[in-house]
Amino acid sequence: MTERIEGHRGERARLYDALLTAEREDVEFYVDLARRADGPVLEAACGTGRIYLELLAAGVDADGFDRSRDMLEILRESAAERGLEPSVWQADLTDVGADRRYALVTCPFNTVMHLGSIDEQLAALRSIYDALAPGGRFVFDVFVPSFEVICEEYGTWQTESVETDGESYEVRTHTQVLDELEGRILVETECYDADGSLVFASEDRLSLLPKRHLELLARCSPFDSWSATGDFSDEPLSADHSIQVWSLRRADDA
């Protein structure tokens, strides 16, 4: 999980979402997917509601959960500001605890990488499978662990200038390999405003997830079929893509 996010809370949450996801095309992708779902939708690990609140705003019958009480509190505050009524609870990916069955469960933005062990990864797949109605789908995205990026960028601070609401910010990211054998990394992120003051800082410990590892997890899970596309397009996943989008399906009669 995001172990540490510092800074003034409301501002921090807004900037955290805006700055860390500036280049991503995932909101439109997941809203479109949810709109086309033939039944209720669940966002697993919905965080501050960056995507979840857009599902509600689009009129989708959507629930969400996250293991962080703080993230859910921020989500509820943002929902209240927008006049939206969220249905969210605190739970772990390995124990969803849903009391209805969904046509679609989503888990956006590298969150499956937060699961530390194979046991946890399989437990999460089983728990999400159980939350799906027959014929339902689990869709998630994680980045492709590119050797080029690991060699060139890991171990040194990467700095990026990002603008939001007419203000300039500097986002600094440092990724280091924590455990080469297990493919565990630590991602530290710091964001500074134009005056050089720290707006927020966060730390995440993640598992690298190559395509083959995800395919083996799918094979060991109760899901019946699966496919992977790249970069939120319809193209089958290839070496040209930087984001893997996986779709795992529960059989119609399961």
Ligand X SMILES: C[S@@+](CC[C@H](N)C(=O)[O-])C[C@H]1O[C@@H](n2cnc3c(N)ncnc32)[C@H](O)[C@@H]1O
Residues near ligand X (CB under 6 A) = 1-2, 45-47, 50-51, 66-68, 71, 92-93, 108-111, 114
List the structure tokens of 252. 């119609």
End-to-end CA separation in angstroms for the chain:
31
Closer CB to ligand X, 122 or 254, in the complex: 122
167-179 and 158-164 strand pairing: antiparallel
Closer CB to ligand X, 70 or 251, in the complex: 70
Cβ at position 21, least distance to ligand X in Å:
7
Backbone phi, then psi, for 168, in 5-degree steps?
-100, 140
Cβ at position 161, least distance to ligand X in Å:
22
Cβ at position 194, least distance to ligand X in Å:
25
Cα–Cα distance list, 207 to 6, 34, 112, 163, 177 (Å): 23, 27, 8, 30, 10
For ligand X, the nearest residue by Cβ is 47
CA angle 44, 177, 13 (to 5 degrees): 40
Closer CB to ligand X, 109 or 169, in the complex: 109
Cβ at position 30, least distance to ligand X in Å:
8
Closer CB to ligand X, 205 or 213, in the complex: 205
From 40, 82, 89, select the one nearest 64 (Cα to Cα). Answer: 89
What count of other Cβ atoms lies within 10 Å of the Cβ of residue 228?
Answer: 18
Helix/strand/coil (H/E/C) assignment for every residue in 83-118: CCCCCEEECECCECCCCCCEEEEEECCCHHHHCCCH
Closer CB to ligand X, 118 or 254, in the complex: 118
From 155, 103, 173, select the one nearest 131 (Cα to Cα). Answer: 103
Distance CA 200, CA 198 (A): 6
Cα-atom radius of gyration of the chain, to the nearest Å?
Answer: 18
Cβ at position 142, least distance to ligand X in Å:
10
Closer CB to ligand X, 97 or 236, in the complex: 97
Closer CB to ligand X, 94 or 135, in the complex: 94
Cβ at position 253, least distance to ligand X in Å:
29
Cβ at position 99, least distance to ligand X in Å:
17
